[in-house]
Amino acid sequence: MSTIRMTAAQAIVRYLSVQYTERDGVEQRFFAGMFGIFGHGNVTGMGQALEEVGNDLTFYRPQNEQAMVHAAAAYTKAKNRLQTFACTSSVGPGATNMITGAALATVNRLPVLLLPGDTFANRVPHPVLQQLEYPLSQDVSVNDAFRPVSKHWDRIHRPEQLIASLPEAMRVLTDPAETGAVTLALPEDVQTEAFDFPNPMFEKRVWKVRRPVPVADDLDDAIELVRKARTPLIIAGGGVIYSEASNALDAFVSEFGIPVSETQAGKGVLPWNHPWNVGPIGAAGGLAANRIARDADVVVAIGTRLADFTTSSKTAFQHPDVKLLSINIGAMDAHKLGATPLIGDARSTIEALAPLLRASTTQKQDVSPITALKAEWDAAVDDLIQPREGEPLTQPQVIGLVNQASGPDDVVVCAAGGMPGDLLKLWRPLSPKGYHVEYGYSCMGYEIAGGLGVKMADPNREVYVMVGDGSYLMLHTEIVTSIQEGYKLTIVLVDNGGFRCIRELQTQSGSPPFGNELRFRDPATNRLDGPTVQVDFASNAESLGARSYTATNAQDLQAALESAKSETITTVIYVPIESQERVRGFEGWWDVPIAEVSDEPAVQEAKRSYDEGRAKQRWLV
C-alpha cells in the first residue's frame, strides 16, 4: 500500500478535511472547519498542520474555548447533526475550558470533535507548564476529565494509532444513537511526530447517516397500544427535528387525529398554529398540552429524553392506566418511563407506523375539544405578549415584539435564565429551524456563542439571540468573533438586574432573596444588598465593535428591531426591564426540594406545597 509521511497533526487535519456524511442521498462535508485557540500544546503541531492544510479545513479563532464548543454545538444542531466543527485547544486551561461545552454537546446529543492538547507522551520535560500532576499515575492528565462528558474518548500516544482512532471517532460522531462530544487528547510531542500513513486514509469517505426502522415485533406492540388509545398524546422532542420528520408527523397526526405537544428541543416541529399542535408540555409548558397530558391514556414520546421539564418531574401523566410508547434512535431514551420501546429513526418509524395503523381499527379523536383548549391557550399567550399602554414593558412583551419583528425563517436562540421558559410558552415558530433553545444543559453563556454557530450554519437567516444580563456578563465576547467573521447577530439583552429566575426559585422556596441581584456589598450588613451595580451594557457592546440600541418601551423596541434589520454588523438591543411580572405556571410542576426542617413559616409553607406536588409523582416503570 502506498504511504505518505506526515505528522500526527497533519494526518488529523487531512483526514478531517475529506470526511462526509450522507442522508437521503444528500452529501455534505462533515467538518465545516476547525475552531481553535493556540497555546503550547497545539500551536506547533496542530497549528503548523492547519496552516499547511489552508482552506481545505478553514480555521476560526474565537475568544474563549468554552464558547467555541458552544458555537460548534449550535452549528451542528442547526444542521441537524449532519455537519459540525472540530475544536483544538492548548494543554491545561485551554483544554479544560472546553469541558462545559463537551457536556452540553453530549447532554444534547450533538456531535462535536474536541482535540485538546495534552502533556508529552515521552514525559521527558514533565512537569510542563500548565500540567496537573496526579500522584497515583503518570498516565492521567486534566484531559481525563473529558471522559464522563464525552461519548468517545481516546488519547493518541503514537501517530499510527490514528489509523484506528479517527474512524472510530467518526463512527460515533455520525451515529445519531451514540453521538455527542468526541475527545481525542493529543500529547504535544505526538502531534509533531511523523509516520508513513496509508494513502487511502486520506481519500474521501462518506459516512451514511441511516434511518433505522424498529423491528416488526415492536411495531406490532406499538400498534396494539395506539389502536386502543382513546386520548393519545404525542410528545415531539429534538429527535423529530434532527430527523427532518415534520412532514411525516404532520401527515400522521392529521390522518389519525393525535395532538402533538412540544419540548424545548422539539418546538417548531409543526407550526404553532397547526390544528393538532397543542403547544409546549411540562413544567414550563402551556395549558392545552398539560391538560391533555394529564388525561392521556397513551403517550407517544418521539425523539425526546423525557427530562424533568418535559414530564413535569413525572407528574404530567395522571391517567390511572397511562402507557408510554417511546420512539427513539437511542435505546436508553426509548426505554424510559417503562415505555414500549420503538428503536428507530423518528421519520422512518412514523412512516412505518402509518400503514399499520391505517389497517387496524382506530378511532380518530375529535378535534373540537382540542381546538377549544388550543384557543384558550392562544388567548392566554396573546394576553401575555400584548404591550399595555402607559405600563412598563415586561419580558413576555419583549418576546412577543421580537417574535413579531422576526420573519418565518429567522431563528431565535436562547439557553438559560427565565427566558427559555417564557420563550417555550410564548414564541410562535413557523419553521422547524426557527426555535433554537439549548435546554438540555441550559448553559449560561451559550446564547451569543450559540447564536454565532447558528448564523454560520445559515447566514441567510436573521438570528435573534435572547440573553439575560446574567448570561451576557458571563460570556459575551464572541460578539468580537461575529464581527471579525462578518456574521451578524441581533442580540436582545434583557436586563432585569441579575439572576432573576434563580431569585424567584429562592423566594418561592420560602427564603428571603439573597445573592442573585447585581448589588454592592453593604458594609453594615456584610451582604450583597447595597445599591444596584450599574453596568453600561450598551457601551460594553459598542466597545467590542457592535452597534447598540437601548429600548425602554414597546415603540422604541419595535423601532430598534426594525433598524437592526438593516444593520450589517452584530447589533445589541439593550432592554432594561423594570417590571418583574413573569409568566405564571400553567399546571406544570418542577421538583425542587425544600428544607424539611426550618423555623421559617414561609419555608414550612413551601415544603407543604412541595409535598403536594411530590404526591402526584409517578414511577411509571
Ligand X SMILES: Cc1ncc(C[n+]2csc(CCOP(=O)(O)OP(=O)(O)O)c2C)c(N)n1
For the CB of residue 557, give the shortest distance to ligand X in the complex, in Å: 17
Closest CA to 459 of 570, 572, 573: 570
Closest CA to 489 of 534, 416, 423, 436: 436
Phi/psi for 56 (5° steps) reads -70, -20
Rounded CA separation 68/370 (Å): 43
For the CB of residue 548, give the shortest distance to Mg ion in the complex, in Å: 18
For the CB of residue 402, give the shortest distance to Mg ion in the complex, in Å: 16
Q: Compose the 461-490 pattern: x for residues touching ligand X by CB under 6 A, - for all others.
A: -------xxxx-------------------
The smaller minimum CB distance to ligand X, of residues 7 and 96, is found at 96
For the CB of residue 410, give the shortest distance to ligand X in the complex, in Å: 22
For the CB of residue 551, give the shortest distance to Mg ion in the complex, in Å: 16
For ligand X, the binding residue among 62, 214, 238, 418 (CB under 6 A) is 418
The smaller minimum CB distance to Mg ion, of residues 188 and 469, is found at 469
For the chain, the maximum distance between any two Cα atoms, rounded to a whole number of angstroms, is: 79
Place of cell 459516512: 207
For the CB of residue 399, give the shortest distance to ligand X in the complex, in Å: 12
Q: How many of the chain's residues bind ligand X (CB under 6 A)?
A: 17
Contact status, residue 266 vs residue 238, Cβ threshold 8 Å? yes
The smaller minimum CB distance to Mg ion, of residues 500 and 547, is found at 500
Rounded CA separation 497/231 (Å): 44
The smaller minimum CB distance to ligand X, of residues 271 and 576, is found at 576
Closest CA to 201 of 12, 31, 425, 417: 12
Contact status, residue 181 vs residue 76, Cβ threshold 8 Å? no
For the CB of residue 471, give the shortest distance to ligand X in the complex, in Å: 4
The smaller minimum CB distance to ligand X, of residues 535 and 569, is found at 535
Any contact of residue 397 with ligand X (CB under 6 A)? no
For ligand X, the binding residue among 219, 419, 491, 557 (CB under 6 A) is 419
Contact status, residue 413 vs residue 464, Cβ threshold 8 Å? yes
Residue 397 interacting partner from ligand X, Mg ion, none (CB closer than 5 to 8 Å by kind): none
Looking at residues 502 to 541 of the shown chain, list those that interact with ligand X (rule: CB under 6 A).
502
Any contact of residue 500 with Mg ion (CB under 5 A)? yes
Any contact of residue 45 with Mg ion (CB under 5 A)? no
DSSP assignments along 465-502, one per residue: EEEEHHHHHHS-THHHHHHHHT---EEEEEE-SB-HHH
For the CB of residue 394, give the shortest distance to ligand X in the complex, in Å: 12
The smaller minimum CB distance to ligand X, of residues 293 and 423, is found at 423
Residue 442 interacting partner from ligand X, Mg ion, none (CB closer than 5 to 8 Å by kind): ligand X
Any contact of residue 190 with ligand X (CB under 6 A)? no
For Mg ion, the binding residue among 10, 19, 106, 496 (CB under 5 A) is 496
Looking at residues 433 to 472 of the shown chain, list those that interact with Mg ion (rule: CB under 5 A).
468-470
Looking at residues 283 to 342 of the shown chain, list those that interact with ligand X (rule: CB under 6 A).
none
For ligand X, the binding residue among 343, 414, 501, 572 (CB under 6 A) is 501
Tell me 117's DSSP state. E
DSSP assignments along 222-255, one per residue: HHHHHHH-SS-EEEE-HHHHHTT-HHHHHHHHHH
Any contact of residue 347 with Mg ion (CB under 5 A)? no
For ligand X, the binding residue among 146, 207, 309, 499 (CB under 6 A) is 499
Q: Compose the 437-456 pattern: x for residues touching ligand X by CB under 6 A, - for all others.
A: -----xxxx-----------
DSSP assignments along 321-362, one per residue: T-EEEEEESSHHHHTGGGPEEEES-HHHHHHHHHHHHHHS--
Place of cell 391514556: 297
Rounded CA separation 406/561 (Å): 9
Q: Which three cell numbers stand for residue 202?
A: 486520506
Contact status, residue 58 vs residue 33, Cβ threshold 8 Å? yes
Spacing of C-alpha 606 from chain mean position: 31
DSSP assignments along 359-422, one per residue: HS--PPPPSHHHHHHHHHHHHHHHHHHS--TTS---HHHHHHHHHHHS-TT-EEEE-SSSHHHH
For the CB of residue 515, give the shortest distance to ligand X in the complex, in Å: 10
Residue 418 interacting partner from Mg ion, ligand X, none (CB closer than 5 to 8 Å by kind): ligand X
Question: CB atoms < 10 A from the CB of 253, how many?
Answer: 23
Peptide bond preceding 127 in cis form (omega within 30 of 0): yes
Residue 471 interacting partner from Mg ion, ligand X, none (CB closer than 5 to 8 Å by kind): ligand X
| CB-based closest residue to Mg ion | 468
For ligand X, the binding residue among 259, 417, 429, 450 (CB under 6 A) is 417
The residues of the shown chain that bind Mg ion, judged by CB under 5 A, are 468-470, 496, 500
> Interface residues with ligand X (CB under 6 A)?
416-419, 442-445, 468-471, 496, 499-502
